[in-house]
Amino acid sequence: MKKIRLKAMAKINLGLDVVRKREDGYHEVRMIMQTIRMYDQIELEPTEAPGIRVSTNLNYLPTNEDNLVYKAAKLLMDEFDVKKGLNIGLRKFIPVAAGMAGGSSDAAAVMVGVNRLFHLNLSQKELMERGVKIGADVPYCILRGTALAEGIGEKLTHLPPAPAGYVLIAKPGIHVSTKFVYTNLKANELESHPDIDGQIQAIRSGDLKKVAELCGNVLETVTIPAYPVIEEIKDVMKKGGALNACMSGSGPTVFGLFDDREKAKAVYENLYGGELAKQVYLTTFFNNRKSGR
Ligand SMILES: C[C@](O)(CO)[C@H](O)COP(=O)(O)OP(=O)(O)OC[C@H]1O[C@@H](n2ccc(N)nc2=O)[C@H](O)[C@@H]1O
Ligand SMILES: Nc1ncnc2c1ncn2[C@@H]1O[C@H](COP(=O)(O)OP(=O)(O)OP(=O)(O)O)[C@@H](O)[C@H]1O
């Protein structure tokens, strides 16, 4: 059997609302998810020797069962009693602990790859049902594109592609734990909620300005007070002509939406190498869910 290569793409949350906290501690959400053109590269090589071996270009990431790629491969290989082994090569480009679902997307890509390599014949839906056992964002990372995510993030409704625009990504040099953010969220005391239904309408009518105007993320109420630099980055983007700027997921990554590439480029150059952000990228939405993997 030959090696296969896969792309694990990052996401941003165009909108993120929390409806309530469940008894098990998880939160019911309503989120507008969007894949962007930023990806980790994954190489899968089946081996005669049993076992899963992970290598990665980032020396601070785990290579044992704590890595989500390991968990994803093990979940499927155990269930289907795969006797062969697997080498997983992971080249990270998506910022880590950033709110961009990097680890979840790696896990999703490995599930798709293992399904293909070992001819498990699972449908996308069957993969997504298993993916949620690894993490709430994994089913969406299998689906990709523009989608409404409900439940804990696993109930997905595919939406038409969000209108095209330029996406400026800036991550300050801090790592934020998703668990910390949800644990400290006062879900019953939120003063305002993003208009998720309005944003869906704006997507359906192809109105980028309106999509941007309605961006909002209730997790900012936890992450921004802890890390005010996020607000500073949002201000820089808005002053530089972004239609809007918002935190992605549990943060600390900020994304700005632009309809003008020159303005986006100017803010990119302003932030790049500066004090506020450690990693800065200019990219676009990715919506061709069938390609690129
Ligand atoms: C912030 C987002 O990235 C937005 O897309 C997701 O909601 C989080 O997805 P994720 O990182 O895949 O989440 P998981 O790995 O399943 O959970 C990490 C931690 O976040 C909290 N968590 C996560 C999802 C959710 N709907 N409610 C929660 O309270 C739980 O405390 C959990 O211990
Ligand atoms: N393949 C992986 N890539 C990145 N981090 C991983 C991976 N596997 C395990 N981890 C661990 O998970 C933690 C968070 O990873 P990740 O980059 O997925 O967070 P995130 O961007 O906040 O995700 P999300 O948006 O889903 O909350 C890291 O601190 C890391 O130790």
Q: How many CB atoms lie within 10 A of CB 175?
A: 12
Considering the candidates 106, 137, 234, 263, report the single residue annotated as catalytic: 137
Residues lining ligand 2, Cβ inside 6 A: 61-62, 66-69, 90, 96-104, 106, 137, 178, 249-250
Q: Residue 206: pLDDT above 60?
A: yes
Mean pLDDT computed over 188-193: 94
Q: Residue 275: pLDDT band by 50, 70, 90 thresholds?
A: very high
CATH superfamily to which 166-284 belongs? GHMP kinase, C-terminal domain (3.30.70.890)
Residue 236, pLDDT score: 98
Average pLDDT estimate for 191-209:
98
Note the pTM of the prediction, 2 decimals: 0.97
Is 137 assigned a catalytic role?
yes
Nearest protein CA to atom 6 of ligand 2, as residue: 103
User: What pLDDT was estimated at residue 112?
Assistant: 98
The CATH number of the domain covering residues in 4-158: 3.30.230.10
The domain limits of the chain are 4-158, 166-284
Measuring CA to CA, how many Å separate 12 from each of 61, 76, 256? 22, 27, 11
Q: What is the pLDDT of residues 89-132, one digit of tens each?
A: 999 999 999 999 999 999 999 999 999 999 999 999 999 999 99
Q: Output the pLDDT for position 2.
A: 87
- Per the structure block, which two tokens stand in for 238? 């808005």
Going by pLDDT thresholds of 50, 70 and 90, the confidence category of residue 208 is: very high
Residue 290 pLDDT grade (very low, low, confident, very high; cuts 50, 70, 90): low
**Residue 105 identity (one-letter amino acid):** S
Whole-number Å distance, alpha carbon 33 to ligand 1 midpoint, is 14
Q: Tell which one of 88, 96, 253 to mutate to probe ligand 2, the residue whose CB is within 8 A of the most ligand atoms.
A: 96
Strand order across the beta sheet in which 279-284 lies: 244-247, 254-258, 166-171, 279-284
Q: Which residues contribute to the annotated binding site for ATP?
A: 95-105
Average pLDDT, integer, range 205-212: 98
Task: Say if residue 285's pLDDT is above 90.
Answer: yes
Q: pLDDT tier at 235 (50, 70, 90 boundaries)?
A: very high
Sign of the dihedral through C-alpha 222, 225, 227, 231: positive
Ligand 1 residue neighbourhood (C-beta within 6 Å): 13, 16, 25-27, 29, 31, 99, 101, 104, 135-137, 152-153, 178-179, 182, 249-250
What are the contacts of 110-113 at 24+ separation with CB within 8 A? 110/6, 110/42, 110/44, 110/69, 110/72, 110/73, 111/72, 111/75, 111/76, 111/138, 111/142, 112/6, 112/142, 112/293, 113/4, 113/6, 113/42, 113/44
What is the residue-averaged pLDDT of the chain? 97
Nearest CA to ligand 1 atom 4: 249
* Whether pLDDT at 264 is above 70: yes
Q: How far is the CA of 56 from the centre of ligand 2 (A)?
A: 13
